[in-house]
Chain A
Amino acid sequence: MSSTESHPTPGRGDAVLGAPTAVTGPSTIDLQRVRAFADVALDVVGDYYGLDAAVAVNPLLPRLAAGFGVAATEAAAALGAAGAPTEAHFRALLSSGRIRRADLAAVLRRRSATDAAGDEAAGDEGVGDDDVLVARFLEAAPSIRNRPAVDRRTARVDDRLSRFTRSWFADEEAAWSVRTGAGFYADWRALALVDLTLRPRARRALRELPERPDALIARHLAGRRLDDAAALDLLGRHLARTPGWTAALRRRTATRRDVDAVEFLAVRLALTSVLDAPDPAAAPAPELSAERLLVWQEAAEAGTHDAILRSVRIPSAPGRDDEGGVDAVPATLDAVPEAAHVVCCIDVRSEGLRRHLEAVGPYGTSGFAGFFGVAARVRPLGAPTGVDACPVLIAPRHAIDERPRPGAAPRTRTALERLRATASWSSALRAPEKGVHSALGWAELSGWMLGPLSALRSVAPGALGDARRPDELPSSPPTLFDLDSAMSLDEQVMTADTVLTTMGMTTRFAPVVLLLGHGATTTNAPFRTALDCGACGGHRGGSNARIAAALLNAPAVRAGLAARGIRIPDETVFLGGEHDTVTDRVTVHDAHALPERQRLRVRALEADLAIAGKRLRRERLAELPGGRRVGAEAEVDRRAADWAQVFPEWGLARNAAIVIGPRALTRGVDLERRAFLHSYEQSTDPDGTALTTILTAPLVVAHWINAQYYFSSVDPEVFGAGSKTVHNLVGGLGVLAGPDGDLRIGLPQQSVMTREGLHHEPVRLMAIVDAPLERIDRVIERHDIVRDLVHGEWVRLVAPAADGRGWVERGADGWRPRILTPDTDDVATATPTAKEAA
């Protein structure tokens, strides 16, 4: 066996592809290296998952290992984006008091001990008066680099590439296909050669370009005599001109695999050549250095994070008051038997429902990723295909179909016939719209009929029936999920065991345990799946909840669990349900088959969930633009049914933290729907298996969501999708702003801001983990993804100090005390108002 050094790479250290290549043509080694360059160049941006199943993701994920500071400055700048608030914005926050001088000084002092950031202000000694430290820091004002104007010819390349990519990627939506099966580059080349909008000279030049995409890239690079780093940088600059299409391309190379970076770049470079355009200029350096951003960012989020830390109870801290925290958990909390227990998704929106429900009656609640441990491709009743109802971090392990319950066949048939009839009617109405020759004529013919209906839908949303998605059954016949065909008994037992142990629910089962997924009912909302459950892969979570409940009710599974030491009382029943996050109504499924005594319990729970939902509606509506607390019931229905509504709900805006620990840490605390809550009980997880699962999956998903909101807020044009009001759908791929241009990734403006300014506060995720420090360390050491998040300062990981007094924070260099700044206001007042943050 030989090492890699036994095959030296030709040309290493010199021009990546030299002049001889341009003359004689590239060698196979050259071509293979070009392919590697193209693949690596894709790292300018993360994957974009589209809108069919929108998944929140960090748009700079490929640069995760570089750390937040570098990614948000240098990597963002390479895309022509602002990856962080500006210096002026931070200074405004300081002037307004939203950034506390004490926090800024504390950050400067601390960071000066470990890096150069604080040196700018703190001097060699790293200590001093707060005002002096801050003044020195402010004196070192960065200069703002002007973004170079984009060459008109480069803009033409962008435009032509975007148009072709849209046609090729969304081929199924096109009346005339541009695809021949020859590949992305070959299809483009064939079209371009007969494209009369290209000058004859350009078409002649195109004929002289290589027919192989990798050879074309090799020729482009050879002509410039670049070294490896410069060649890679050049390809990245080209891809960065259209970050949206590049992000979609990344995803496509891993899913459909019908196009790759080489083909995409070949089209781009060919256009550059035939249109005589220059290579894109290097992006200007970011306004803030990575070190300076880290200082500002930490100071800016200190108020919000401190307020949350003050709210959360520190375990094993009897009578603690020196840190300004709340008292330990009231003993009475555990003394009252639970009438029912509700397990919600970790989604921040669940926090409100849990808080209000616990205030209504003797209920307990837990948090678990909303797919409830069932990584399955689920096919709903009547659906032609299934959906991957699990986090995108994992591939589905099972395929589970929804089927009619025994005896429900006639009702099911009726429901399916109605669904098909509606679909046929809708399809027939829309068919002429897609015809090239019939579209205008059909508008003339149908306008008299559809016009009044459209007017009615606009002035009286909901008048034509409740909001419902086109693929949903009009009624709900009794169904079940066929577990036995999809999973072996061992798999069922193992899944059930994982779900219960991961959230620490292994004893003291309530008589009714409701597993509550969530989804959002909206009308005509392209971003509707972004409001659904991220843990279910951007789908509604009701089916997953029902599947998990069926699993935990199965006698054979319970017997298997008992053999593993988890004994679920015969009296306990698990049910699945769904929380509609637009209306805050909760649907409980499958209760009809329960014994009378259990049915009464469920009815009582449903009644109390309705009360909790009503309170939550009023609370949420107060924050929504145009929201009216009076008549909240009708207001949420109107929003769900209104096809022009751009603010159906706020989704996960303002998310700021994840709490991983028992509910006792947060019960009774109003976290303002800003915290993901994942249940974890360290005493039932001695080997750290559950903690590993939580830190490598739910924490990662929470970070992706947090990062998507962060970047969509700080640069809505590059990292966000812009305003909903000008969106044009490109199949299920995404949206364009207007008729052409780059695919828009990220969240629309209406998900993070109003006309008044930002609603979402761009802060990094703070992870509060109630676990022994050495156990957390072990996970960090053994899992790259967690290490990158924590060491790279993407996530601020905080845990109770070993002595139970205060908090400690984990950095790349270990644990340090997390000191809360005195006189912190509460969460709401520590957060910039929309106007100030704008």
Chain B
Amino acid sequence: MTVEGLSPMTKVEVVVRSTDADAVSRQIVSAGGTGYTSLPGVTGLGHHGAHDGRALFNDQDALTLTITVVPDDRAPALIAGLRELLERRPGVMFVSQVSVSRPHYFQ
């Protein structure tokens, strides 16, 4: 997706168990990502069935969605690292092209 006047970037979204969310954020930071958004307790239906949101007294028994946007040249390394994680831990990753209005935030 390209929108006139905006800058193209790569958006990476990862849903993993909350206990693995730290590893995802470490990947983002070490790959040069300047930030990310983390949404703990996401719900939904997936490969392993339905998932409730965060339990009342257990933050760890939940899924976390982590979203980041990086310049295109940093995306391959980040994706390669995340794929290695997801080879060995449950989760899914979505990669898409996006356009951002303030590219310097992400560089």
Contact = CB atoms under 8 A, between A and B. Distances in A.
A693 B55 contact: yes
Which of A1, A32, A781 has most chain B Cβ within 10 Å? A32
Contact of A36 (B27, B60, B90, B94): B27
Nearest to A693: B56
Contacts, number: 126
B57 A782 contact: no
B94 to A, nearest CB: 6
B55 A37 contact: no
Given A1-B96, A7-B76, A697-B55, A35 B81 contact: yes
Interface string B61-72: 100000000000
Interface in B61-93: 61, 74-90, 93
Interface residues of A, number: 46
A39 B27 CA distance: 9
Contacts of B97: 2
A427 interface: no
B76 to A, nearest CB: 6
Contact of B85 (A27, A40, A782): A40
Interface stretch (A391-399, A643-651, A807-815): A391-399
A824 interface: no
Nearest to A697: B57
B60 A7 contact: no
Interface string A701-725: 0000000000000000000000000
A4 B30 CA distance: 19
Given A4-B79, A782-B49, A40 B58 contact: no
A35 B96 contact: no
B79 to A, nearest CB: 4
Contact of A260 (B26, B50, B93): B26
A172 to B, nearest CB: 24
B102 to A, nearest CB: 22
B55 A783 contact: yes
B14 to A, nearest CB: 10
Contact of A4 (B58, B59, B61, B95): B95
Contacts of A393: 57-61
Contacts of B93: 4
Contacts of A833: none
B33 to A, nearest CB: 11
A541 B56 CA distance: 20
A32 B75 CA distance: 11
A312 B82 CA distance: 49
Contacts of B49: 781-782
Contact of A696 (B57, B75, B78): B57
A40 B88 CA distance: 8
B6 to A, nearest CB: 17
A826 interface: no
Given A4-B93, A7-B80, A9-B80, A32 B30 contact: yes
Interface string B32-68: 0000000000000000111110011111110000000
A9 B83 contact: yes
A254 B22 contact: yes
A782 B96 CA distance: 29
A6 B33 CA distance: 20
Contacts of A522: none
Given A9-B83, A394-B57, A693-B57, A35 B30 contact: yes
A696 B76 contact: no
B31 interface: yes
Given A3-B95, A254-B22, A36 B57 contact: no
B25 to A, nearest CB: 10
B77 A28 contact: yes
Nearest to A43: B88
Given A2-B96, A7-B95, A31-B77, A39 B58 contact: no
Contacts of A781: 49-50
Interface in A229-288: 232, 253-254, 260, 262
Contacts of A700: 58, 61
Contacts of B58: 391, 393-394, 696-697, 700, 785
Contacts of A697: 55-58
A232 B85 CA distance: 11
A28 B32 CA distance: 10
Which of A2, A232, A395, A784 has most chain B Cβ within 10 Å? A784
B81 to A, nearest CB: 3
A782 B26 contact: no
Given A2-B95, A29-B76, A394 B81 contact: no
A692 interface: yes
Contacts of B84: 9, 33, 36-37, 40, 228
A783 B95 contact: no
A375 interface: yes
Given A697-B56, A783-B52, A10 B26 contact: no
B56 A32 contact: no
B87 to A, nearest CB: 8
A498 interface: yes
Nearest to B63: A784
Contacts of A40: 23, 84-85, 88-89
Nearest to B83: A9
Nearest to A498: B56
Interface in A140-188: none
A319 B57 CA distance: 38
Contacts of B57: 369, 373, 375, 391, 393-394, 693, 696-698
Contact of A782 (B52, B74, B78, B81): B52
Interface string B10-35: 00000001000011001100110000
Interface of B: 17, 22-23, 26-27, 30-31, 48-52, 55-61, 74-90, 93-97
- What are the nearest 4 A-B pairs in CB distance? A32-B81, A36-B84, A697-B57, A1-B96
8 contacts: A4-B95, A36-B81, A36-B84, A214-B30, A228-B87, A693-B55, A693-B56, A782-B49
Given A4-B93, A6-B95, A783-B61, 15 more contacts: A4-B79, A7-B95, A9-B84, A35-B27, A35-B30, A36-B84, A36-B85, A39-B23, A40-B23, A40-B85, A40-B88, A260-B26, A393-B60, A697-B57, A698-B57
